[in-house]
Amino acid sequence: MPESAPLATPHGASEPHPLGALMGLAVFGEKVAARTYVAMAALRPEFDVLLRKFSAMEARHGASFAQASRANDVEPDRAFADGELGYLLAQVEEYAAAGDFDALAVLQGFIVESLAIATYEPFLAIADRYRGAKEAFAVALADERYHVDWITRYLRLRYFDAVPELLALAERVNARGVDCVGGTMMNIAHHLDAVGLSGADCAAGMMDGYTELLEGVGLDQRAALRNVAGIFSPLMAKYRRGERTK
């Protein structure tokens, strides 16, 4: 394949163009992430400077993805992204209004970042096909891991001797967050396949990453695996039946 493969959305297409849909999620998903960190900063002034720095990093990711899209004649699909991200944004606003900092931390650090890492990392293997994509995704991936590292450390200290409370928090947030963001992973699997990635491998990567995060905040492996199996199995069952998850 040539260095750049223009993939403009066909006129009259009933399905979103694969790369347009994926870049739409990347561009507008980063804007939601930036908004989430601003909401977190407002709730915990002691973390204001750091979390606003995270927000600015997420905004730069979105801008770099938009620039890479333009370089390849791809229009990020805003309508597709809105359909997938609306559920997530509603949760962010609800937790922010309730002053629930820890729920925002779990939603952003565990669920949203797990989705980003699970797709950005394998995309680097094919990023040379698209002008400007490799640098944009490499920077974003490194930054997302940096953010996850901080949130993992925060939650580990916050719930150092309160693992049952952490599990209760994670399960409360997961009940909706994973069905939303994990569901998006299932819904975009065929788009990932179309651009040269494995949708199944990306979904498995998200599950593995989520398990590692739970272990990182103090759960033993068995408890982490049991938690992940309980929240992802219903999604996998829907995916095998060919159902959308919303």
pLDDT of residue 212: 67
Distance separating alpha carbons of residues 85 and 206, to the nearest angstrom: 17
Across the range 175-198, mean pLDDT stands at 58
Of 186 and 107, more confident: 107
pLDDT tier, 118 (very low <50, low <70, confident <90, very high otherwise): confident
Distance separating alpha carbons of residues 44 and 50, to the nearest angstrom: 11
pTM score, whole prediction: 0.75
With 0-12 / 13-18 / 19 or more C-beta atoms within 10 angstroms meaning exposed / middle / buried, residue 152 is buried
Is pLDDT at 152 greater than 60 in this prediction? Answer: yes
